[in-house]
A = this chain, B = another copy of it.
Amino acid sequence: MEPVTTPKARQASLREHNLGLVARAVFGAERPPSRAAIAAATGLTRATVSTLVDQLVGARVVRELPPEPGNVGRPAVPLVPASRTVVGLGLEVNVGYLGVRAVDLAGDTVVERIERGDFHASDPAVVLPRLADLAREVVAGLDAEGVRVAGARLALPGLVDVRDGHLVVAPNLGWADLDPVPLLGPLRAADDIRVRIANEANLAGLAQLRFGWFAGDRAGDGDVLADVAERSATEAPDLARGGTTFVYLSVDVGVGAAVLLEGALYVGRRGWAGEIGHVAVEPDGPLCQCGARGCLEAVAGKLALLAAFGRGPSDDLDVDEIAVRAAAGDPEVTDVLERVGTFVGRALAAVVNVLDVDTLLLGGLYATLADALHGPVVDELRRRVPALPERLVVAAAPVVDHAALTGGARAVLRDVVRTPSAFVGASTTVSPADTTERAHP
């Protein structure tokens, strides 16, 4: 007979499972839990929890705060994610810059390097080694401080096939059919930092999670995908918490989106979900670089904005100036943004109609223009979504500063929290360091 599907928890060893359970209890808590609170929440014995917490503390994944006197018994020791001990590395090549950012388990940026440039129609065999040089500097500094690098994610503005991890095409870089990781080369001599690639908009979307940023696991409870008949008011997932189900719009020359459902990135069959830039908003409109007419990207991307203001495709677009003029009521600007906002609203209406999401975050160029775009976007949503959410949020994305770097680093750290056992096992090879010391400046 065929093998019967087995839950993952059973495939993994019990210790590994429990270690992940305890790690998620620390990282998922809104307030720092004690060992006793973790035991109560997980159903594990206090002795087991203590052993596992000690391992996580020893591996510098979790940190103990000073004890707080409890009502009964010994003072409770609150547990929090460790600071400046373990980092994920976000890497990015985009049209206007190269970037490297190290983010720690507490969610703070420890060190970053951004190098501006024009990488439109560039050579990956030149650009990726440059990025690798930046990354090696960062890694060397972290190594010197005793900060461990758990892995790296390379964000690219294009279609990444998640099944085999190759870049299918990044039109605005002029790259196609490429495995970028070998071109980077090793990020340190030992060549032990694993690099994986992902779509820029997806990682930037991941950076927007406000609560429980590694919370992808929670979707694993089946809440998001619950059968319609399963749901009730009390079961409705996360409505009170908010902020974990949203569509994030990434806008530059290309227009993409990330679809976040209950804290988990939805990537689709091949990883190409979120291609909102090619939703038809003006079907007989101008040609898009994809060959179709009236795609959102063709009428509302950076090149369309430049053209609307009488600039050429290689000119700079000063969104700050546009935002100031819009706020002052400059009719040339408000006319353009009214039109662009209507198109954005039309594409988002399709998304809201199909996915029933209530939070739409404007990122990239639109983040700066969010105040001016808000009115026309919401007007078009009201026209085109019969089942409009009561609480509709259309707002600038909270993280706009190279968000894909933060998202890439977080994606690495999610893995640490999900399966800390691999990481705990490796901890003996790294020399301990004061967790409060300042890392590489």
A residues with CB within 8 A of B: 1-10, 21, 24-25, 28-34, 37-38, 41-43, 153, 159-160, 162-165, 168, 196, 198-199, 202-203, 206, 216-222, 224-233, 236, 239, 245, 257, 259, 261-262, 264-276, 278-283, 290-292, 295, 346-347, 349-351, 353-358, 383-387, 389, 411-412, 414-415
| B residues less than 8 Å from A271 (CB atoms) | 228, 231, 356
A268 contact from B5, B165, B227, B357, Cβ within 8 A: B357
| B residues less than 8 Å from A32 (CB atoms) | 1
Given contacts A3-B41, A227-B267, list 17 more A-B pairs with CB under 8 A: A2-B31, A5-B28, A10-B43, A163-B236, A219-B222, A226-B267, A228-B271, A228-B411, A229-B415, A231-B267, A269-B356, A270-B387, A276-B354, A278-B384, A278-B386, A283-B346, A291-B383
Q: A222-B217, A269-B358, A354-B273 are in contact. Are A228 and B245 (CB under 8 A)?
A: no
Closest B residue by C-beta to A276: B354
Contacting pair A386 B275 (CB below 8 A): yes
Number of copies: 2
For the complex formed, measure the closest distance between the CB of A198 and the CB atoms of chain B, giving whole angstroms: 5
Contacting pair A42 B6 (CB below 8 A): yes
CA distance A160 to B232 in the complex (A): 11
CA distance A196 to B235 in the complex (A): 15
Q: A162-B228, A163-B236, A356-B268 are in contact. Are A7 and B33 (CB under 8 A)?
A: no
| B residues less than 8 Å from A30 (CB atoms) | 1-2
Contacting pair A353 B275 (CB below 8 A): yes
Contacting pair B229 A280 (CB below 8 A): no
CA distance A24 to B163 in the complex (A): 27
CA distance A262 to B353 in the complex (A): 21
For the complex formed, measure the closest distance between the CB of A417 and the CB atoms of chain B, giving whole angstroms: 12
Contacting pair A269 B227 (CB below 8 A): no
Q: A28-B4, A273-B355, A358-B269 are in contact. Are A350 and B43 (CB under 8 A)?
A: no
Contacting pair A227 B216 (CB below 8 A): yes
Contacting pair A292 B383 (CB below 8 A): yes
Contacting pair B231 A162 (CB below 8 A): yes
Q: A159-B387, A354-B351 are in contact. Are A225 and B6 (CB under 8 A)?
A: no
CA distance A280 to B10 in the complex (A): 47
Residue in A3, A32, A358 whose Cβ sees the most chain B Cβ within 10 Å:
A3
| B residues less than 8 Å from A159 (CB atoms) | 386-387
For the complex formed, measure the closest distance between the CB of A406 and the CB atoms of chain B, giving whole angstroms: 14
Residue in A7, A236, A257 whose Cβ sees the most chain B Cβ within 10 Å:
A7
Contacting pair A266 B43 (CB below 8 A): no
| B residues less than 8 Å from A280 (CB atoms) | 281, 346, 349-350, 384
Contacting pair A269 B239 (CB below 8 A): yes
CA distance A120 to B63 in the complex (A): 64
Contacting pair B292 A387 (CB below 8 A): no
| B residues less than 8 Å from A295 (CB atoms) | 384
A265 contact from B28, B228, B232, Cβ within 8 A: B228
| B residues less than 8 Å from A165 (CB atoms) | 232
